[in-house]
Structure 1
Amino acid sequence: MEKRSIGLAIVFTLITCGIYGIYWMYKMTEEAHMLLGRQTTASGGMVIIYTLLTCGIYSFYWMYKMGETMTEAKLMRGMHADNNSGLLYIVLAVFALGLVSYALIQSNINDVIDFDAQNGSQLPQQMYPNA
């Protein structure tokens, strides 16, 4: 698992009129689950399907759960975590700043990846024994 450039992800999302954003959502879901060692939402593919079927409403739930997931992943490593990040992501999305929420989620994922790399931590093994 590698860190993703937030700036490039935003640029690619804008250039592709949101298509890269769908892929980004998929990847963030899978990476967050991998970092925690268990699923907290539907799989990445199902998140995309549910979001499309509900005309975007499921994405609000997903953002909230990604906030909780990354908070839990950080806390299990002894990192500082904001317990209200999921709520922040929803508020940003309500005000048409969902891309900012994506950037913040990716930033949290990158922070955990950095922490693991610096401390020699291994991925949790409950869900991904071959990772």
Structure 2
Amino acid sequence: MKIEKKSLLNVALLSLITCRVYVIYWITVTTKDINSYMENEYISPTLACILSIITCGLFDIYWFYKYGNIVFNDMYKKADIDSYGENAFVLVLFFFIPFGYIYSVVTLQSKLNIIYDKINS
């Protein structure tokens, strides 16, 4: 399975410049990638997009907690990578700081890039 890495700088800049609109797109694409890799549909990518729009970003908090745990626990185990005790709750906490969502997006994307490097090599 081939999953493309995303540039952390592009993810951060697009999240900031588009005033979180890119984050909705990123969540949709990332949901699809994670579901595909884990061979389990935790949340439909379309539903994630719709809920993110309808709740004005409140769903994003839940998404980062749920999918952060999937990345830090399940995906790391499946890719045979040590998670070093990382916790998705930190990603959620940054949502309550102005522009902290950028940290959450970039952090999760960097972890996904590590996994993508491992599975694509």
Report SS of the residue matched to 1:80.
coil
Which amino acid in the other structure matches residue 101 of structure 2? G
Deviation at 1:82, TM superposition (A): 4.7
Name the CA distance, whole Å, in 1 between partners of 2:110 and 2:65: 15
Aligned to 2:117: 114
Deviation at 1:84, TM superposition (A): 4.5
Q: Any idea what the Cα deviations from partners look like across 1:35-72, whole Å, max 9, x if unmatched?
A: 222122x2222112112222322111100011111121
Aligned to 1:35: 37
Aligned to 2:65: 64
Aligned to 1:8: 10
Report SS of the residue matched to 2:10.
helix
Deviation at 1:101, TM superposition (A): 0.5
Structure 2: 5+ residue runs without aligned partners?
none
The alignment covers a number of residue pairs equal to 117
Deviation at 1:8, TM superposition (A): 1.0
* Greater share of helix: 2
Q: Any idea what the Cα deviations from partners look like across 1:9-28, whole Å, max 9, x if unmatched?
A: 21122233332222112111
Q: Decide which structure has the larger Cα Rg and report it.
A: 1
Percentage of matched positions with identical amino acids: 23
Structure 1: 5+ residue runs without aligned partners?
119-131
Aligned to 1:87: 89
Name the CA distance, whole Å, in 1 between partners of 2:85 and 2:56: 27
Aligned to 2:106: 103
Task: Give the TM-score normalised by the residue count of structure 2.
Answer: 0.85
- Is the 2:6–2:113 contact (alpha carbons within 8 Å) kept by the matching residues of 1? yes
CA RMSD, 1 decimal: 1.6
Which amino acid in the other structure matches residue 107 of structure 2? L
Q: Taking structure 1 as reference, are residues 36 and 82 closer, same or farther at Cα in structure 2, changes over 3 Å only?
A: farther
